[in-house]
Amino acid sequence: MLRAARYYDAVVELATELTAMPYPGTLGTPALREHIMIFLEQTEALLSVDPVEGKVEPDACQADMQRRYRALKADLLAEGARGDFDIHDMELCLRRLSRMRRLAEQALKAAVTLRKLNLSTGQTVLQGDASVPHSAV
């Protein structure tokens, strides 16, 4: 439980950083904006992983997100190098995307940790202090 709580603490810290961080004035070319939006949608999907269901393969999800993040980062840097993306805006965008990626990773780790805890105890951990056997869920 402490490990999952620590992951969720990191999620809160990263979310707080993101809310205080400025937005870039531009997001590069239309193709890059589309690439960013797809990455954000995929990252957001990881935030809604249900730790009880366990239908998600966490290693595959994390590897896929890393692959997509590296490709997006390469595109951002290439547009910045070509002058298609303001360098200051590119840097802001990179920092925001990096924190979003890390936030999703920490949320996924928390969900996986809770899933393992649920499997090892035979109970589903609910909000508050209540627990119920898996058969009741």
Query: pLDDT tens, 80-126?
Result: 999 988 999 999 999 999 999 999 999 988 888 888 876 665 555 55
Element (H, E) at 43: helix 30-46
Q: List, for residues 33-63, the tens digit of each pLDDT value.
A: 999 999 988 888 877 766 566 566 777 888 8
Highest CATH level, class, for 2-136: mainly alpha
- Per-domain boundaries in the chain: 2-136
Task: Tell me what the pLDDT averaged over the chain comes to.
Answer: 82
**pLDDT score, position 48:** 75
62 burial level (CB within 10 Å; 0-12, 13-18, 19+): middle
Between the alpha carbon of residue 21 and those of residues 16, 44, 102, the distances in Å are 9, 18, 15
Which two structure tokens, joined as six digits, stand for 87? 């360098």
